């Protein structure tokens, strides 16, 4: 494991109290682990902003498969991006609604473009892109 570096930081008391209350509610057992996670999240955000290298995203969409041609349109779209799409999981939520999680790898621009296309497809009821990382920037 990498060496641990300890450092002092000056933070207003009220800010620390509010932070501690929030991380306790989230289940963190100590402040360090919460700060490490926030730092990692900040680095992943930077990875997406830089546009350099490969990132990973998951696109979650919910749609009604009874909407005419929608399933075909979504499948054709995904075939068009087969180089970047790692996998797709489909769940039949009920008689009408389907949920799909599409895992996409590429530059942040590519991943966002694929997510935008899927989410904006007519008939998709809800969609969300979660921007994460291949892990390379978080050694």
Distance CA 60, CA 79 (A): 17
Give the HSE-up count for residue 95: Cα atoms under 13 Å, Cβ half-sphere.
0
Taking CB under 5 A as the binding criterion, the range among 1-9, 88-96, 108-116, 125-133 that sits at the site for Ni ion is: 88-96
Residue pair 64/97 in contact by the 8 Å Cβ criterion: yes
Whose Cβ is closer to Ni ion: residue 24's or residue 92's?
A: 92
Distance CA 121, CA 134 (A): 27
Q: Is 98 near Ni ion (CB under 5 A)?
A: yes
Whose Cβ is closer to Ni ion: residue 88's or residue 132's?
A: 88
Q: Is 125 near Ni ion (CB under 5 A)?
A: no
Whose Cβ is closer to Ni ion: residue 23's or residue 124's?
A: 124
Distance CA 77, CA 117 (A): 8
Q: Is 92 near Ni ion (CB under 5 A)?
A: yes
Least distance in angstroms from the C-beta of 49 to Ni ion: 35
Interface residues toward Ni ion, by CB under 5 A: 92, 98
């Amino acid at each position: 494991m990498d060496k641990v570096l300890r450092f002092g930081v000056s933070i207003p008391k009220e800010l620390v109290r509010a932070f501690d209350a929030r991380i306790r509610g989230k289940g963190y057992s100590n402040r360090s682990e919460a700060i490490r996670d926030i730092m990692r999240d900040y680095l992943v955000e930077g990875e997406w902003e830089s546009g350099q290298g490969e990132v990973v995203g998951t696109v979650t969409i919910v749609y009604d498969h009874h909407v005419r041609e929608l399933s075909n349109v979504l499948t054709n779209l995904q075939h068009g991006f087969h180089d970047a799409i790692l996998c797709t999981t489909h769940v039949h939520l009920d008689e009408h609604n389907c949920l799909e999680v599409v895992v996409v790898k590429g530059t942040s621009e590519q991943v966002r473009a694929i997510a935008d296309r899927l989410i904006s497809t007519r008939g998709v009821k809800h969609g969300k892109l979660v921007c994460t990382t291949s892990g390379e920037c978080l050694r």
